[in-house]
Amino acid sequence: MTRFANGYETRVTRLQKLLVRLAPVLFLIAVALVVAACVPGGAGTAASGAPSPSHSQAPLHPAAPGANPMDLLAWVFTPIFQTLFIVLVVLDKATGNIVVAILLLTVLIKLITTPVTRKQLVTSRQSQLLQPEVREIQRKFKNDRVAQNAAVQEFYKQRGVNPAGGCLPALLSMGLLIPMYSVFSGGLTNHDISGMLRPFGFDLGQALGIVCDAAPRFDAAGHVLNPCLNPVAFGINWSYPEPVTTGLAIAGFGISILAVISSLVQLVASRQTLAPVDPRMADDQNVKVQRQMAYFLPLISIMYGGFLPAGLFLYWILSTVIQVIQQFFVLGFGGLFPFRGWSPEFARNHKPRSPVKIPHILPNVPGKSPSAVDKAKALDRDLSAQSTIRPNRTRPSRRGRRR
């Protein structure tokens, strides 16, 4: 029975690590699927021979479930899409500027998700603080992988920390990008959005005085010329990729200034979540990979700038800025400094306003026998001894030596 439990925990640990590694790839696949499902109107050449529009031909309305997996996926995301879209429409009508509406929607989303964000930050920081002890456990059981995984899992349980809790809320926040993409690419380009503005039978469009055209008009490139909402503000059409408005391109590849800014802000946020440099973890391979990914992943946004709506980058920039502020209260500067050898005076010995402490052994573990706490304390004493005992170096014995 014990062997079965250890094997199960080992498989769970490996699955968690695999999900974390594949999260960016899975997210991109999900975006592609939802985009294909949520954008109304199929691509292709119209019967009249006119150019196929790049965005919605049919009026916007909630998706209905069907046997097609794409229809089912669109139906699942419809409530989230409709809620975000209605809030954006109300804010747009109240402010008269789509940019202000996007910024206010972003702040509202971050306020609602603040408890989830804080839980993620605390759990991630607790996991970082426990890493030296986890490494000692791994070193102790380095010759027995099953026992090593079981000991690590038990170590986290005794301290009430779930390592997966630091990444799952982050994936939830990233998941909001999927319906937000549809809001900008499908909602702001549609000629008739009245069908999406009837929640629970109430005609919100009529209450707001929204009047849409009966049929769409397209330009030579297939862009909608008469969207029901005005997506243009400050000379930029926020429903299309930025290069469509600015025409900025290098070697035929569209360049978005917003995408570059987004990458820089994400670089700050990702480095801030890293643990401060710890000499004990200097040679840890996982730490090295995390620091490399902190540089690499933010740069991917630059490649997205050529085909993602400008409004999505505006949302992501402000969302990341708010994230940096939230992280500052819990993590401080984190691993932001030293940056290429530069460590400013204000960042040295800085303590965050709401610091996270090392989690201690839980006094009472639900479902565990009272001896579980004693076992945890014994494990702590063993790990402390392992970290303080000097390596056994072979030295010549004084016994039997010639004088």
pLDDT in tens, 175-210: 788 889 999 999 999 999 999 999 998 999 999 999
Start-to-end CA distance of the chain, whole Å, equals: 60
- Of 223-232, 299-308, 341-350, the range with the lowest mean pLDDT is 341-350
pLDDT given for residue 295 in this prediction = 77
| pLDDT-derived band at 88, boundaries 50, 70, 90 | very high
The Cα 102–Cα 311 span in angstroms is: 7
**Mean confidence (pLDDT) of the chain:** 77
Q: What are phi and psi of 233, to 5 degrees?
A: -155, 135
The Cα 193–Cα 59 span in angstroms is: 6
pLDDT given for residue 376 in this prediction = 52
- pLDDT above 90 coverage of the chain, percent: 30
Q: Is residue 365 within 8 Å of 157, Cβ to Cβ?
A: yes
| Residue 211 is assigned to a structural domain of this protein | no
Averaged over 40-57, what is the pLDDT? 40
| pLDDT-derived band at 401, boundaries 50, 70, 90 | very low
Residue numbers of the domain that contains 304 = 240-353
Q: Is residue 95 within 8 Å of 104, Cβ to Cβ?
A: yes
* Nearest in space to 176 (alpha carbons), one of 109, 108, 125: 109
DSSP element (H, E) containing 254: strand 253-254
| pLDDT-derived band at 253, boundaries 50, 70, 90 | confident
The residues near 128 (Cβ < 8 Å, ≥ 6 apart) are 275
Q: Token pair for residue 188?
A: 């702001």
pLDDT given for residue 139 in this prediction = 86
| Residue 327 is assigned to a structural domain of this protein | yes
Axis crossing angle, helix 114-140 with helix 310-331, rounded to the nearest 10: 60
Most confident of the following: 160-174, 302-316, 352-366: 302-316
| Residue 262 is assigned to a structural domain of this protein | yes
In angstroms, the Cα distances linking 309 to 3, 180, 197 are 52, 10, 22
Residue 163 carries which DSSP code?
G
The residues pairing with 232 across neighbouring beta strands, listed in sequence order, are 237
| pLDDT-derived band at 5, boundaries 50, 70, 90 | very low
The Cα 251–Cα 362 span in angstroms is: 59
DSSP element (H, E) containing 312: helix 310-331
Buried-exposed string 275-302: b where 16+ CB fall within 10 A, e elsewhere: beeeeeeeeeeebeebbeebeeebeebb
CA angle 76, 81, 83 (to 5 degrees): 115
| pLDDT-derived band at 108, boundaries 50, 70, 90 | very high
* Nearest in space to 17 (alpha carbons), one of 202, 161, 163: 163
Phi-psi region of 40 (alpha: psi -120 to 50; beta: other; left: phi over 0): beta
The Cα 187–Cα 331 span in angstroms is: 37
| Residue 13 is assigned to a structural domain of this protein | no
Buried-exposed string 214-224: b where 16+ CB fall within 10 A, e elsewhere: eebebeeeebb
Instruction: Return the amino acid letter for 292.
Output: Q
Averaged over 284-311, what is the pLDDT? 81
Q: What are phi and psi of 48, to 5 degrees?
A: -80, -5
Q: Is residue 253 within 8 Å of 242, Cβ to Cβ?
A: no
Q: How many domains does one find in the chain?
A: 1
Q: When comparing pLDDT for 98 and 163, which is higher?
A: 98
Residue 98 above 60 pLDDT? yes
Q: Token pair for residue 34?
A: 């939802």
The residues near 29 (Cβ < 8 Å, ≥ 6 apart) are none
| Residue 323 is assigned to a structural domain of this protein | yes
CA angle 56, 88, 319 (to 5 degrees): 105
The Cα 177–Cα 26 span in angstroms is: 13
**What number of CA atoms fall less than 13 Å from residue 26's CA on the CB side?**
10
The Cα 352–Cα 102 span in angstroms is: 30
Residue 93 above 90 pLDDT? yes
| Residue 306 is assigned to a structural domain of this protein | yes
| pLDDT-derived band at 171, boundaries 50, 70, 90 | confident
Residue 118 above 50 pLDDT? yes
The Cα 304–Cα 297 span in angstroms is: 12
| Residue 172 is assigned to a structural domain of this protein | no
Averaged over 364-371, what is the pLDDT? 50
The residues pairing with 249 across neighbouring beta strands, listed in sequence order, are 254
Residues constituting the chain:
403
Q: Is residue 88 within 8 Å of 105, Cβ to Cβ?
A: yes
- pLDDT above 70 coverage of the chain, percent: 71
| Residue 298 is assigned to a structural domain of this protein | yes
The pTM score is: 0.76
CB atoms within 10 A of CB 9: 18
Residue 185 carries which DSSP code?
I
